[in-house]
Amino acid sequence: MSGNLSLSNSMNEFVTGRHKMLIDGNWVEAISGETLPVYDPATGEVLTHVPSGGKADVDAAVDAARRALKGPWRTTTPQERSRLMWRLADLIEANAESFAQIESIDNGKPVNEARFIDVPFSIEILRYYAGWPTKITGDTIPVSYPHQFGGRYHAYTLREPIGVVAAVVPWNVPLLMTIKKLAPALATGNATVFKPAEQTPLSIELLGQLVIEAGFPPGVFNYVSGYGRDAGQALVDHMDVNKITFTGSVETGKSIVRGSTSNLKRVSLELGGKSPHIVFADADLEPAIDNAALAIFACQGESCIAGSRLYVQRSVFDRVVEGVSARARAIKLGRGLDPSSQMGPMISEDHRKKVLQYIDIGRSEGVEIATGGGAWGEKGYFVEPTVLVNPDPGSRIVKEEIFGPVLSVLPFDTEEEVLAAANDSRYGLGAGIWTQDISRAQRLISSLESGQVWVNCYQACDAAVPFGGYKQSGWGRETCKENLDDYLELKSVVIRY
């Protein structure tokens, strides 16, 4: 592989080596023998190949998970589950630099973003959920009605693992999204089968090695690499999968819901976003401008929570546009493994074309392009950080998720006007408010149709804070205690004595 001199020797050997899938504690090829290529989005070159699993591989993985549920994992105590999860978190921390390098070369993101955000937050989430196994309890319920039949009754509830959990992981933050789904599944005693995105299948292999090293029983964690139409669809259709958790596009999420009806799988979805970011004239403008730029250009804009619609009160509109545009122009694009790079490439050539098509839509509609607006570099899948000024509120670039470094900036005059504009979306994942007026902030918080609202900050996340959306941004929440219920069955018990 050319151009990978920033990788450590061990990670260079790992990335370019032979890759396998993990099923029932064993490293295996795809039954078909087929592989799929993995590309470096910074160069467009093939990094390596991984197994291209299909239905037969999924069947084997689900069978392994089912056996684990009937074997030693079933009798593992809550305390031991906690210890295993803590051990896994410690191992990830010990290998943090390796994960950061893998995420950077596989996804394209700046290595420092992976070092200081993705990997540490993954560890935090795992440790947060490691505290829960000993605290998953039922209730004792006083009963009245059965007494008329004579006798006395004792009623209580049990919370039990839902069974085999299938997880389909996106490509934008592969390790973090894997841990978001794995941690609550392990804490509640389930067995899992993962399908990583075909674009970013490398970090889950290192994670699998550490799962084995931590001492989890075989079959508790399995993964099948492959295409969504093959391995992903097989998981959705599988009659022995009890729950599926998915992060990705609305269209794929709807397809998963339809497929889940084969056996009425439990489904949780974290889908798209077109998040409004609102700046009032009384805001502290310098941090507001900094956060507005960070909200859209972090992760190359390939983030469901990106603040892609920036609404600015008219009296400070020009100042904010100028400030955000200046910050966009100052961003250094480059290969993610270069520590000086501040923004990497899009995940693929197809995705870059999609992002550029949206910019062309804006250009054809006469939108002012304050900065950016094109591809960047001679190779790789780069797009310039782009600021589009005053587009039509009903245009596609304002309504549809672009999933790239493209910001639409629109002026507003009144609180009522911006609230209506912010809620005029099929999405409802996140929203930001910048104002010094706490009463105004409270009014907007209660009226915004969004799963999370940040005031005088943006995308401040924590493992204990629920993450998820309203409307077509998904079903359920992640990173919180409430998320545990999505992985548990509730059983009622009544005893006559």
Domain identity same for 284 and 335: yes
In the chain, how many domains are there? Answer: 2
What type of residue sits at position 286?
A: E
What average pLDDT score do residues 485-491 get? Answer: 98
Residue 202: exposure state from Cβ atoms within 10 A (0-12, 13-18, ≥19): buried
Instruction: Indicate the average pLDDT of the chain.
Output: 96
Tell whether the model's pLDDT for residue 468 goes beyond 60: yes
Q: Does position 5 have pLDDT exceeding 60, yes or no?
A: no
Distance of CA 486 to the CA centre of its chain: 17
Is 4 among the domain residues? no
Q: Is the pLDDT of residue 280 over 70?
A: yes
Answer yes or no: is pLDDT of 2 > 70: no
What are the pLDDT digits (tens) for 12-26?
999 999 999 999 999
Task: Output the domain CATH number for residue 366.
Answer: 3.40.309.10
pLDDT at 319: 98
Q: What is the pLDDT of residue 497?
A: 87
Classify residue 347: in a domain, yes or no: yes
The residue from 113, 205, 304, 384 that is catalytic is: 304
Per-residue pLDDT for 470 more than 70? yes
Report yes or no on 328 lying in a domain. Answer: yes
Q: What's the average model confidence in pLDDT over 416-425? A: 98
Residue 479 has pLDDT above 50, yes or no: yes
Active-site residue, 304 included: yes
Beta partners for residue 279, in sequence order: 312, 434
The answer on pLDDT for 150 being more than 90 is no
Residues 143 and 28 in one domain: yes
pLDDT at residue 3, as a whole number: 43
Give residue 274's region: left, alpha or beta (phi > 0; psi -120 to 50).
beta
Give the amino acid at 49.
H
Are 50 and 22 in contact by the 8 Å Cβ rule? The answer is no
> Is residue 2 included in any domain, yes or no?
no
* CA-based nearest residue to 120, from 97, 87, 152, 86: 97
Are 436 and 229 spatial neighbours (Cβ–Cβ below 8 Å)?
no
Average pLDDT (280-298) is 98
- Condensed to tens digits (0 to 9), the pLDDT of residues 62-86 reads 999 999 999 999 999 999 999 999 9
Which has more pLDDT, 152 or 95? 95
> Rounded CA gap, 476 and 463, in Å?
15
222 shares a domain with 102: yes
pLDDT of residue 148: 67
Instruction: Write down the pLDDT at residue 388.
Output: 98
Task: Map residue 243 onto helix, strand or coil.
Answer: strand
35 belongs to a structural domain: yes
Alpha-carbon distance 227 to 61, whole Å?
Answer: 16
CA 144 to chain centre: 46
For residue range 312-337, list pLDDT tens digits in order.
999 999 999 999 999 999 999 999 99
Domain-embedded: residue 391: yes
Given pLDDT bands bounded at 50, 70 and 90, which one contains residue 147?
A: low
480 in active site: no
pLDDT tens readout for residues 247-274:
999 999 999 999 999 999 999 999 999 9
Residues 175 and 219 grouped into a single domain: yes
Q: Label residue 487 by pLDDT band (50, 70, 90).
A: very high
CA of residue 137 relative to chain centroid, distance = 28
103 neighbors 109 (Cβ within 8 angstroms):
yes
Q: What is the pLDDT of residue 144?
A: 85
* Domain shared by 152 and 109, yes or no: yes
Q: What is the pLDDT of residue 4?
A: 45
| 84 and 223, same domain (yes or no) | yes
Nearest by Cα to 347 from 171, 207, 205, 491: 171
pLDDT value of residue 127 = 98
Residue in 3, 113, 42 with CA at minimum distance from that of residue 349: 42
Same domain flag for 385 and 448 = yes
59: domain CATH number is: 3.40.605.10
Q: Look at residue 304 and tell me whether its pLDDT is greater than 70.
A: yes
Query: Does 232 lie in the same domain as 178?
Result: yes
Using an 8 Å Cβ cutoff, are 108 and 344 in contact? Answer: yes
pLDDT digits (tens, 9 = 90+) for 89-106: 999 999 999 999 999 999
| Same-domain check for residues 216 and 351 | no
For residue 106, the enclosing domain spans 9-271+474-494
DSSP-derived pairing of the beta strands 221-223 and 191-195: parallel
For 62-76, b/e burial (b = at least 16 CB within 10 A) is bbbbbbbbeeebeeb
- Evaluate if residue 152 carries a pLDDT over 70: yes
Both 247 and 309 in one domain: the answer is no
User: In 25-164, which ranges are continuous DSSP H helix?
Assistant: 55-70, 72-75, 78-94, 96-107, 111-113, 119-130
Distance in angstroms (rounded) separating the CA atoms of residues 70 and 52? 28
The answer on 319 and 265 residing in a single domain is no
Q: pLDDT per residue over 201-239, tens digit each?
A: 999 999 999 999 999 999 999 999 999 999 999 999 999
pTM of the model: 0.96
The active-site residue out of 124, 198, 270, 384 is: 270
Task: Indicate the pLDDT class of residue 6, thresholds 50, 70 and 90.
Answer: confident
For a pLDDT cut of 70, what percent of the chain falls above it? 98
Does 1 reside within a domain?
Answer: no
Question: Crossing angle, helix 96-107 and helix 9-16, to 10 degrees?
Answer: 50
Verify that 283 and 265 share a domain, yes or no.
Answer: no
376 has a pLDDT exceeding 90: yes
In a domain, 256, yes or no: yes
